[in-house]
């Protein structure tokens, strides 16, 4: 008994409603690209926002969509950063985009290998294992100072022009366009991914892994896949940092970086892809403002922000974004509801 | 070699006193308190101020460090932590990391960022020889004090009504509540006590571990190792885990100094993946 | 009658408590088997063992003669061993449309599709809508599972299992907690199951058991106590004794 085609059409619309481009999204990206021309004086901070947003996006993929709490996501960030810096310094791969891809693959490999560590165990074990991996990498980077430059960082890195044409400059003009383009492309891929059947399966795994396996979903396979992809994204973000600053130091693996990243994602809200980007914008501007006031005690304000956010409630904090989202959703639903009422 | 073993045991017992409060908190309320090290730091700095600046005798400053840390723990628990119990693990992690950052920055501001040292009375300094083994006086003091504390803890848990209520609440808090045990009150007291112990450990350990504002961050991973490897269903689990960790770290740093903590972290990862419930815990219903 | 699912001396022990005691069970193709027993008899444990949620202490499980004892849950689902849960296990933020859609796309092997947008395959969507209509879920088709009334959640629980096109369906108290008025929908759904699907039903409500089953297995203290046709079981003195003369006397 096949259902009437109108019902199928409506169901299809409902299912793909998540994936439809919202006007606000389009405005967001137009504004981001317009900033290339409109705010040349702020390109340096915008560059930082771009790779930080990508880094936060990668955390969103595992935290917001798969429910894995990681205290060591900086492991992949740092791995990508050092790979890119070393490739540039030793002139193994001179073209930045190619080096970027290779760094991403390197980080993805690391992600794949370590993904098996986070499959089992409670939240606490995962936390510790991810933290442990980042600490191990940091120790290794410290130990092999002849390769990594140790505590002083990797000196003497020079990055060639992007695609052989666009030279990196002191003001971040090339940097911002480069980072933003990379971010946008990877964002499109991530957006496709989370709105696919794979993404829906991920949400189900996050929501109820027992039920997921009871409908035939291999929970482990999904987690390994998303963890690997997220590691790749984080590695590319790190590579962008290394390439735009021509520097890499031990600090890319630090716990502070992983902890800051959690705050960035939480400010914007996890689970809808834009949280990391919005959080990066807010975080960077706040950091800019507050470190001018109290350069040394900036961690105090981060800590306070975390405490307040948790006490007030994460959903209430990000609720300032939901009226916008809800309003937009209601516009969509109302037209769909009208059409379905006509069908019935 | 035996001296190193001795040092490792001292380090391990110190870690135990520092971390056992965290073990009980985790086992009791399933609450991940990453800020535990901050209470230890508080105790350490209290002792530093008392002994260095106010001339209080070292041994007398230890109970004061305990009480101050316990007091801070109690206040924080009743005012802040109590709102976070029901929240998700992610929220607990974020919250306690936030507290750590705040405490680190605050102490940095008030006490300065350099490492501080306790003026340990000369009676406790230096070594003496016993059976051909070099025994540090201070480390011996640590072992004695921590040993006594461990015995006292085990006694309280096994032989007092509070202890049995605590064990019941750890085992199954819903049932314990149903039996009329005031779990909230038990938790407040236990949290305060655990923080006090951490403070005492911080005071004792300032000399060996090095005390500076980043103490909670540096040692967070060690406390977590003790708790996850040792499990939370008994006292002996974390005790053994602390000893293993203490001895392992000291021995490792002596014989393979270039690898540093790398070995400890790798072993931790291996253990956690192989037995996520900890090396020493019995399988619980949870 | 060919045996589809079989357990051989299945034992499950938890810390000294024997939850499943040497259970040897055969379920034929197209069976309508009911599994009854007092509370704590180990019925849900048995389902957990059959579906791979727990691993047995000893013994084996065969599906069509193939040993599946070591297979993980999701692999067993692929082979056709599907269950429902006694306490609803749904995805609280997903709608029935998305939930059934997920089950169907997994079954079709399209679950790893990461490039296509959800809903872009019309034939898949048609099948999903058809299942939803069969289970009277179209009026809540686009509501999050968490806000559905309990009876609808229960229906969704069964619908998801059916969407996996099971060969062996293990129903764990499908009518549990459902209001009298809504029970008939669940019962109708259970009665309408395809005849080549083998069904093992756990239930406490004896009316449902006797109207549904062609064979009943009684589980007591983890062991198979009595097995037989509904009349045999109803008149078995030992079964009556076990139930302390409660519902069975009326049957």
Quickly state the pLDDT bin for C1 (edges 50, 70, 90): low
Alpha-carbon distance C98 to nearest alpha carbon in chain A (angstroms): 7
User: Which one of C113, C118, C122 has the shortest CB-CB distance to A19?
Assistant: C118
CATH code of C3-89+165-250, in short, is: 3.40.50.300
Most confident of A101-105, A150-154, B212-216, C223-227: A101-105
Residues A20, A23, A24, A28, CA torsion sign: positive
Query: Between A169 and B258, whose confidence is greater?
Result: A169
Which of C200, C223, C197 minimizes the C-alpha distance to C213?
A: C200
Specify whether the CB–CB gap between C239 and C225 falls below 8 A.
Answer: yes
Mean of the per-residue pLDDT values for chain C?
87
Residue B168: pLDDT over 80: no
Query: Between B69 and C239, whose confidence is greater?
Result: B69
User: What confidence score (pLDDT) does residue A58 get?
Assistant: 97
Of A15-29, A268-282, B50-64, C179-193, where does mean pLDDT reach its minimum? C179-193
User: What confidence score (pLDDT) does residue B283 get?
Assistant: 46
Q: Cα–Cα distance between B229 and B236 in angstroms, integer?
A: 12
The whole-number average pLDDT for the span B23-52 is 87
Domain boundaries defined on chain C? 3-89+165-250
> Which chains are within 8 Å of B by 3+ CB pairs?
A
Alpha-carbon distance A203 to nearest alpha carbon in chain C (angstroms): 8
DSSP C198-247: EEEEE-S-HHHHHHH-SEEEEEETTEEEEEE-HHHHHH-HHHHHHTTTSS
User: What confidence score (pLDDT) does residue A272 get?
Assistant: 86
List Cα–Cα distances, B148 to B4, B14, B145, B151, B241, in angstroms: 22, 12, 5, 5, 18
User: What confidence score (pLDDT) does residue A331 get?
Assistant: 47
The whole-number average pLDDT for the span A164-178 is 86
Quickly state the pLDDT bin for A317 (edges 50, 70, 90): low
The strand pair at C3-14 and C17-28 is best described as antiparallel
DSSP A123-153: HHHHHHHHHHHHHHHHHHHHHTHHHH-GGG-
Asked if A290 has any chain B CB less than 8 Å from its own CB, the reply is: no
Residue A293 φ/ψ, nearest 5 degrees: -80, -55
Q: Cα–Cα distance between B285 and B277 in angstroms, integer?
A: 12
Q: Cα–Cα distance between C221 and C45 in angstroms, integer?
A: 11
Specify whether the CB–CB gap between A217 and A85 falls below 8 A.
Answer: no
Chain C partners of A219 at a C-beta cutoff of 8 Å? Answer: 74
Q: How many CB atoms lie within 10 A of CB A214?
A: 25
Percent of chain B with pLDDT over 70: 94
Quickly state the pLDDT bin for A344 (edges 50, 70, 90): very low
Chain A partners of B276 at a C-beta cutoff of 8 Å? Answer: 120-122, 125
The whole-number average pLDDT for the span C4-15 is 90
The whole-number average pLDDT for the span A89-102 is 90
**Model pLDDT for residues B101-155, shown as the tens digit of each residue:** 999 999 998 888 888 887 777 777 777 777 766 677 788 888 888 888 888 888 8
Give the burial string for A294-326 (b: 16+ CB within 10 Å, else e): eeebbbbbbbebbbebbeeebeebbeebeeebe
Residue A127 φ/ψ, nearest 5 degrees: -55, -50
**Model pLDDT for residues C147-175, shown as the tens digit of each residue:** 999 889 999 999 999 999 999 999 999 88
Nearest CA in chain B to A139: B262
List Cα–Cα distances, A310 to A256, A313, A318, B80, B87, in angstroms: 18, 5, 11, 11, 9
Residues A215, C160: C-beta atoms closer than 8 Å: yes
User: What confidence score (pLDDT) does residue A320 get?
Assistant: 60
Q: Cα–Cα distance between A70 and B69 in angstroms, integer?
A: 30
Surface of C (76-95) touching A: CB under 8 A = 77-78, 82-83, 85, 89-95
User: What confidence score (pLDDT) does residue A326 get?
Assistant: 57
Residues B102, A296: C-beta atoms closer than 8 Å: no
User: What confidence score (pLDDT) does residue A293 get?
Assistant: 82
Residue C117: pLDDT over 60: yes
Nearest CA in chain A to B95: A307
Specify whether the CB–CB gap between A104 and A235 falls below 8 A.
Answer: yes
Q: How many CB atoms lie within 10 A of CB C150?
A: 13
Domain boundaries defined on chain B? 2-214
Q: How many CB atoms lie within 10 A of CB C132?
A: 26
Asked if A317 has any chain B CB less than 8 Å from its own CB, the reply is: no
Chain A partners of B80 at a C-beta cutoff of 8 Å? Answer: 307, 311
pTM score, two decimals?
0.87
Residue A124: pLDDT over 50: yes
The whole-number average pLDDT for the span A29-51 is 92
Q: Cα–Cα distance between C153 and C99 in angstroms, integer?
A: 11
The residue count of chain C comes to: 251
The whole-number average pLDDT for the span C226-239 is 87
User: What confidence score (pLDDT) does residue B286 get?
Assistant: 33
Residue B279: pLDDT over 80: no
Q: Cα–Cα distance between A116 and A218 in angstroms, integer?
A: 14
User: Which one of C53, C82, C130 has the shortest CB-CB distance to A3?
Assistant: C130
Specify whether the CB–CB gap between C156 and C135 falls below 8 A.
Answer: yes
């Amino acid at each position: 008994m096949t259902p009437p085609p109108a019902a199928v059409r409506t169901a299809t619309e409902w299912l793909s409603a998540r994936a439809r481009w919202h006007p606000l999204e389009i405005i967001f990206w137009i504004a981001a690209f317009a900033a290339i021309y409109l705010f040349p004086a702020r390109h340096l901070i915008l560059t930082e926002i771009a790779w930080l947003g990508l880094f936060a996006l990668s955390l969103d993929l595992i935290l917001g969509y798969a429910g894995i709490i990681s205290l060591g996501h900086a492991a992949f960030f740092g791995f990508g950063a050092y790979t890119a810096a070393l490739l540039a310094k030793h002139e193994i791969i001179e073209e930045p985009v190619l080096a970027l891809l290779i760094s991403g693959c390197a980080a993805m490999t690391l992600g794949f290998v370590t993904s098996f560590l986070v499959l089992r165990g409670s939240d606490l074990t995962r936390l510790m294992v991810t933290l442990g991996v980042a600490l191990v990498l940091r120790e290794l980077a410290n130990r092999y100072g002849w390769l990594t430059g140790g505590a002083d960082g990797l000196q003497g890195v020079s990055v060639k022009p992007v695609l052989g044409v666009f030279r990196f400059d002191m003001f971040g003009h090339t940097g911002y366009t480069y980072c933003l383009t990379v971010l946008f492309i990877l964002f499109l891929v991530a957006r496709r991914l989370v709105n696919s059947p794979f993404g829906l399966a991920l949400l189900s795994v996050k929501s109820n892994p027992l039920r997921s396996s009871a409908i035939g979903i291999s929970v482990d396979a999904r987690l390994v896949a998303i963890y690997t992809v997220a590691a790749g994204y984080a590695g590319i973000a790190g590579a962008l940092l290394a390439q735009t600053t021509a520097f890499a130091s031990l600090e890319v693996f630090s716990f502070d970086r992983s902890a800051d990243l959690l705050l960035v994602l939480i400010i914007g809200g996890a689970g809808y892809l834009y949280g990391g980007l919005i959080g990066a914008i807010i975080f960077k501007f706040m950091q800019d403002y507050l470190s001018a006031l109290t350069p040394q005690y900036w961690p105090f304000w981060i800590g306070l922000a975390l405490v307040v956010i948790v006490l007030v409630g994460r959903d209430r904090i990000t609720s300032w974004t939901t009226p916008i989202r809800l309003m937009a959703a209601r516009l969509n639903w109302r037209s769909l509801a009208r059409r379905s009422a006509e069908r019935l | 070699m035996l001296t190193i073993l001795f040092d490792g045991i001292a380090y391990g017992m110190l870690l135990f006193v520092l971390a056992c409060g965290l073990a009980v908190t985790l086992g009791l309320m399933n609450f991940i308190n990453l800020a535990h090290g901050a209470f230890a730091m508080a105790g350490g700095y209290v002792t530093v101020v008392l002994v260095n600046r106010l001339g209080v005798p070292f041994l007398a400053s230890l109970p004061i460090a305990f009480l101050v840390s316990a007091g801070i723990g109690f206040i924080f628990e009743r005012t802040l932590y109590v709102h976070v119990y029901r929240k998700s693990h992610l929220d607990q992690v974020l919250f306690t990391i936030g507290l750590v950052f705040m405490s680190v920055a605050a102490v940095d501001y008030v006490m300065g960022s350099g490492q501080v040292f306790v003026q340990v009375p000369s009676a406790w300094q230096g070594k003496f020889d016993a059976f051909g083994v070099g025994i540090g006086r201070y480390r011996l003091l640590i072992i004695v004090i921590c040993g006594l504390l461990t015995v006292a803890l085990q006694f309280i848990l096994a032989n007092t009504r509070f202890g049995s209520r605590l064990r019941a609440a750890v085992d199954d808090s819903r049932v314990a509540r149903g039996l009329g045990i005031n779990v909230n009150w038990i938790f407040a007291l236990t949290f305060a006590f655990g923080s006090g112990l951490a403070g005492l450990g911080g005071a004792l350990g300032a000399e060996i571990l090095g005390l500076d504002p980043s103490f909670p961050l540096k040692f967070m991973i060690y406390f977590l190792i003790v708790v996850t490897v040792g499990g939370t269903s008994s006292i002996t689990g974390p005790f053994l885990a602390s000893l293993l960790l203490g001895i392992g770290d000291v021995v490792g740093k002596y014989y393979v100094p270039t690898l540093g903590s790398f070995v400890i972290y790798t072993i931790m990862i291996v253990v956690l993946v192989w037995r996520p419930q900890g090396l020493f815990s019995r399988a619980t219903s949870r | 009658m060919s045996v589809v699912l079989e357990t051989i001396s299945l034992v499950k022990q938890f810390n000294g408590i024997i939850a499943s005691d040497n259970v040897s069970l055969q379920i034929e193709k197209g069976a309508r088997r009911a599994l009854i027993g007092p509370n704590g008899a180990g019925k849900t444990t048995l389902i957990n063992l059959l579906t791979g949620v727990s691993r047995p202490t000893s013994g084996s499980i065969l599906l069509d003669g193939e040993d599946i004892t070591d297979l993980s849950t999701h692999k067993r689902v692929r082979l056709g061993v599907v269950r429902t849960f006694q306490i609803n296990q749904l995805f609280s933020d997903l709608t029935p449309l998305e939930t059934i859609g997920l089950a169907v796309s997994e079954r079709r092997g399209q679950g790893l599709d990461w490039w296509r947008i959800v809903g872009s395959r019309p034939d898949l969507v048609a099948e999903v809508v058809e299942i939803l209509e069969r289970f009277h879920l179209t009026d809540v088709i686009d509501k999050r599972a968490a806000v559905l009334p309990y009876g609808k959640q229960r229906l969704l629980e069964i619908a998801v299992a059916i969407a996996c096109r099971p060969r062996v369906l293990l129903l764990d108290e499908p009518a549990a907690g459902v209001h009298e008025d809504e029970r008939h929908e669940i019962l109708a759904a259970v009665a309408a199951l395809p005849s080549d699907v083998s069904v093992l039903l756990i239930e406490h409500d004896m009316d449902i058991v006797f109207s549904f089953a062609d064979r009943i297995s009684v589980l007591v203290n983890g062991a198979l106590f009595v097995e037989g046709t509904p009349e045999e079981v109803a008149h078995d003195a030992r079964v009556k004794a076990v139930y302390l003369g409660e519902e069975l006397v009326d049957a």
